[in-house]
Amino acid sequence: MLSIILPCLNEAPSLKTLLPLLQQQYTDAEIIVVNDGSSDDSAQVAAQAGVTVITHPYRLGNGAAIKNGARVARGDILVFMDADGQHQPADIEPLLTTLHTGYDMVVGARSANSQASFGRWCANSFYNQLASWMVGYRVADLTSGLRVVKADKFKEFLYLLPNTFSYPTTITMAFFRAGYSVGYLPIVAQKRIGNSHIQPIRDGIRFMMIIFKIGTLYAPLKLFGPLSVAFFLLGISYYLYTFSTAGRFTNMGVLLFTTALLIFLIGLVSEQITQLLYSRDSREEKSKPTKTN
């Protein structure tokens, strides 16, 4: 069974067009609209279309909507797509076909022809390059919201997913870390219907945090290691300079060497924590019901 999950925040105009298309093309699919505290009539539009509606009493976040939709979904394959008109129902079938060739998750990778701002395109390109370096595999679109995934594997990481827009980053890196296969197919994202929920200053800071999350979710030492080496080399250079000019080892040199050591130790501890976090035994233990006396 197929479950299509659409997180929704004030997307009534788009839902009026999108839901009938989904129902026409996927007659046997379970369609779930997660209304994340919308102030318009999104919930009413979805209810009138006859799909399953989950309503948050207030805005919890895109990631929270995704998680709550996945919790109630009955399908063994989950489809996640935006409800704002950027993703086309016709793009789902190629993703499903690729998933059935042996992948655990297939993501719709937005092409250069997609209707996104230049700034967001640059940011996404940087994230993709960084993630590709971290995992040793080409990550074509780290933050895409259109993806199909096997439900049992996705639900393993529900406890790990944030409530914000950065859930695609987290689930992608979690799959790579767990050794699950991730594939990409090119899509063209359309211009969204209505206003964007992205706020430049707030989400600019959040996107900077994504950079650190990429490293800490997959291989912390790969992020902290080079940073530690950089501070160590800077300390060596500064020591040689002060020794040749003043004939002594200064406090700044000590600070640089200490910083290099601390960054390395933080990376080492983070590596151990990450290893435990993605341990299969640990995930299975979380899913076991607790015994009561």
pLDDT along the chain (293 residues), means of 10: 95 93 94 95 94 95 94 96 90 96 95 67 82 87 93 92 85 90 91 58 64 73 88 91 83 90 90 72 49 43
Look at residue 13 and tell me if it is in a domain. yes
Q: Is 9 helix (H, G, I), strand (E, B) or coil?
A: coil
Determine the structural domain holding residue 224 and report its residue range. 220-287
pLDDT at position 267 is 87
Shared domain for 230 and 103, answered yes or no, is no
Shared domain for 114 and 21, answered yes or no, is yes
The domain spanning residue 180 has which CATH number? 3.90.550.10
Shared domain for 104 and 155, answered yes or no, is yes
Contacts of 210 (CB under 8 A, 6+ apart): 127, 143, 166, 169
Look at residue 208 and tell me if it is in a domain. no
Start-to-end Cα distance in the chain: 38
pLDDT at position 285 is 47
pLDDT at position 54 is 96
Burial class (CB in 10 A: 0-12, 13-18, 19+), 113: exposed
Q: Which sign does the torsion angle of CA 110, 169, 131, 212 carry? A: positive
- How many domains does the chain fold into? 2
Q: Compute the distance between CA of residue 289 and CA of residue 291 in angstroms, rounded to an integer.
A: 6
Give the Cα-Cα-Cα angle 15, 160, 72 (nearest 5 degrees).
Answer: 45
Q: Which sign does the torsion angle of CA 278, 279, 283, 285 carry? A: negative
* Interior/surface letters 141-157, b for 16+ CB within 10 angstroms, e for the rest: bbbbbbbbbebebbbbb
Q: Contact at 8 Å (CB) between 116 and 82? A: no
Shared domain for 185 and 227, answered yes or no, is no
> Token digits for 58?
């207030």
Shared domain for 73 and 112, answered yes or no, is yes
Look at residue 175 and tell me if it is in a domain. yes
CA neighbours closer than 13 Å in the CB half-sphere of residue 101: 10
Q: Contact at 8 Å (CB) between 30 and 52? A: yes
Shared domain for 156 and 59, answered yes or no, is yes
Q: Contact at 8 Å (CB) between 232 and 258? A: no
> Does an H or E element contain 80, and which?
strand 77-80
pLDDT at position 231 is 93
Q: What φ, ψ does residue 56 adopt, rounded to 5°?
A: -85, 140
Please tell me the pTM assigned to this model.
0.78
Place of tokens 């990409």: 184
Place of tokens 């009539």: 41
Shared domain for 151 and 39, answered yes or no, is yes
For residue 181, give the amino acid letter: S
Q: Contact at 8 Å (CB) between 141 and 184? A: yes
pLDDT at position 290 is 46
Burial class (CB in 10 A: 0-12, 13-18, 19+), 50: exposed
pLDDT at position 293 is 42
